[in-house]
């Protein structure tokens, strides 16, 4: 059997062809209300299908937030399954934002739920939490390599509470966040044109020059739009690693729904601003 193409190579191609933008699919109750939809499974389905139909053919990555589907139980998860399948069929890579983290067979089961090619929720990549120790992610790393998928590991997140863990200093003088970046650099060593093991690093964090962000893999950068960061901030935050940044925008795009044309226009605006910010003069 031919080995599947690694996620990093597929992501690099998608970013080069479609631009680096990642659009979140976050159907929380207040956004459903803004769209004039009921906070129920039917509203969830209409919201998700509208986003996919409007933008999946135009962006590199779509990132459904699993929690907003799970809250409706099995019917909500069924909507998530259809959302993933339809987004991938339209050519977008799907990053499942589930932030799973556990140990042993439980971590393996979480990985199988999203990264096994026969799974109903099979996605191109998964967000994971390393804060039971980076080694606890080993089952997910192994399955990602086998299935040609990727991981995005929480490293330096945009929420203010994250600093109490991620900026804590270890006995060797490195912060926890820097330690996670170091692990990812080892995972991605020798991979071209881009490794499959990425980091989540907030675009709102300002000067990160003390961190080595150039770890050979992609960087998912939340915080663009509603959280206050702009595409113009990306070079200053990410330095020489900016070419590998996947800026995530959720509300900044989604608030323009349910009008499909307005959603597409918002995507085009953000994509162009990102392209202008990260392209060398």
- Residue 27 in 3-state DSSP? coil
99 is catalytic: yes
Helix intervals (H) in the chain = 7-18, 29-34, 41-55, 67-70, 73-89, 104-115, 138-147, 163-166, 176-188, 234-238, 251-254, 260-278
Q: Rg of the chain's alpha carbons, rounded to an integer? A: 18
CA distances from 242 to 35, 95, 211 (A): 34, 19, 13
Owner of token pair 């900016």 = 242
CA separation for the pair 138, 126 (Å, rounded): 14
CA separation for the pair 244, 181 (Å, rounded): 14
97 Cβ neighbours under 8 A, 6+ residues apart: 24, 63, 64, 65, 66, 127
CA separation for the pair 112, 115 (Å, rounded): 5
CA separation for the pair 110, 128 (Å, rounded): 10
Owner of token pair 């709102």 = 204
In sequence order, what are the beta bridge partners of 248?
A: 22
Cβ-based burial of 144 (10 A; exposed 0-12, middle 13-18, buried ≥19): buried
Q: Which of 13, 99, 174, 255 is catalytic?
A: 99
Catalytic machinery residues: 99
């Amino acid at each position: 059997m031919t080995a599947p193409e690694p996620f990093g190579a597929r992501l690099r191609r998608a970013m080069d062809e479609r631009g680096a933008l990642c659009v979140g699919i976050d159907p929380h109750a207040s956004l459903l209300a803004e769209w004039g939809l009921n906070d129920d499974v039917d509203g969830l389905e209409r919201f998700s299908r509208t986003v996919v139909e409007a933008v999946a053919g135009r962006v590199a990555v779509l990132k459904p937030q699993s929690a907003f589907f799970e809250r409706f139980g099995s019917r909500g998860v069924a909507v998530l399954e259809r959302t993933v399948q339809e987004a991938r069929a339209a050519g977008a890579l799907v990053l499942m934002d589930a932030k799973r983290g556990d140990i042993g067979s439980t971590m393996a089961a979480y990985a199988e739920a999203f990264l096994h090619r026969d799974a109903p929720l099979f996605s191109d990549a998964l967000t994971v939490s390393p804060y039971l120790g980076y080694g606890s992610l080993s089952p997910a790393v192994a399955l990602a390599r086998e299935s040609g998928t990727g991981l995005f590991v929480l490293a330096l997140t945009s929420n203010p509470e994250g600093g109490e863990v991620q900026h804590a200093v270890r006995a060797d003088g490195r912060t926890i966040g820097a330690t996670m970046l170091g692990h990812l650099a080892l995972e991605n060593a020798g991979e071209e044109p881009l490794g499959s093991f990425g980091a989540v690093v907030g675009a709102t964090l300002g000067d990160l020059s003390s961190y080595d962000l150039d770890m050979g893999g992609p960087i998912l950068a939340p915080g663009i739009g509603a959280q206050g960061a702009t595409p113009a901030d990306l070079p200053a935050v990410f330095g020489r690693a900016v070419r590998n940044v996947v800026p995530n925008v959720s509300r900044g795009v989604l608030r323009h729904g349910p009008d499909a044309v307005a959603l597409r226009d918002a995507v085009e605006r953000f994509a162009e601003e990102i392209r202008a910010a990260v392209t060398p003069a």
